[in-house]
Amino acid sequence: MIPEITVQLYSVRKQAEADYEGTIRAIADMGFGNVEPAGFPGTTPAKAAQLFKELGLKAPSCHRALPVGENKNAVIDEALLLGHKYLITGCPQNFRNDFATADAIKATAELYCEAAAFVEPYGIQVGYHNHDWDLAEVDGVPGYRIFLENTPETVLWEADIFWVMKAGLNPADFIREIGPRGKLLHFKDGIINATDTFTEAETQDGKIMISNATPFLPAGTGQVDLVGASKAAIHTAYIAVELDSYAGDMMKAVQESYTYLTKTGIARGNK
């Protein structure tokens, strides 16, 4: 079956902070039946849940910290309120340091195993969203493979195929390799330029990567082979629109991405 389309709301964080309700209503009007929150700028989880319900939107996945430690019950309470089935980390807890060595990756994997065991009784899964640095080799082995070898398949891998290609890997091959872990994918498009540099930045939702350029583009207008990647997505339930940044009108870019992904049959929406 064709995966459902969703949108990573980090893309529209500036618009949401200024007018959360208006932004979400506009996204629903585009035809999206799903959203992937990453924090709630301009609102609260309770108000967002109420708005989603009113608009018939679902939030099967979100980006947030792992449900471990003293805040794990609060994470579950929020997930149940919003109807999340998949809790995905936008970045690991200690960012690059968690993929700096094989031992660090194994310790990181242990945390994901702990989180997976905690959320399993609630019918929820945890997962990892990649950039490019966590795909690099560590001691002669791709770091992500160490993570996969030390976690069960119930720990998902939300492949961001722009970053996969940025790391010099083939997105379709990568999706095949992660297999059943690839229930959710980010079909991000843009210009793969080796001269771009990305630096860490802190936000209210954790660390992110900031580019010295604006390489991200509406789906279908960049260099990522989205159609080819979609043919490998046989285990995928949701394909997400995401742009970390955009030089033009972000809402227009989200709409153009929705149109491309649904018209090409890569994903299905409500329109």
Q: Is 144 part of a structural domain of the chain? A: yes
Stated pTM of the model:
0.93
- Which pair of tokens denotes residue 261? 């992904």
Q: Is 269 part of a structural domain of the chain? A: no
Output phi, psi for 153, to 5 deg: -65, -15
Query: What is the CA angle 100-105-109, rounded to 5?
Result: 155
Q: Is 268 part of a structural domain of the chain? A: no
Distances (CA, A) of 219 to 145, 181, 197, 199, 225: 28, 23, 22, 24, 10
- Which pair of tokens denotes residue 114? 């702990």
Domain at 218, CATH number: 3.20.20.150
Separation of alpha carbons 200 and 16, rounded Å: 22
Q: Is 270 part of a structural domain of the chain? A: no
What range does the domain containing 186 cover? 4-263
Determine the 3-state secondary structure of 86 from DSSP.
strand
Q: Is 35 part of a structural domain of the chain? A: yes
Count: domains in the chain: 1
- Predicted pLDDT at 202: 55
- Predicted pLDDT at 208: 54
Q: Is 271 part of a structural domain of the chain? A: no
The series of mean pLDDT values per 10 residues for the chain, 271 residues long, is: 97 98 98 97 97 98 96 96 97 92 98 98 98 95 97 98 96 98 98 67 50 80 97 98 95 98 98 91
Amino acid at 30: M
In terms of Cα–Cα distance, which of 199, 175, 24, 8 is closest to 88?
Answer: 8
Output phi, psi for 91, to 5 deg: -150, 155
Q: Is 118 part of a structural domain of the chain? A: yes
Separation of alpha carbons 208 and 206, rounded Å: 7
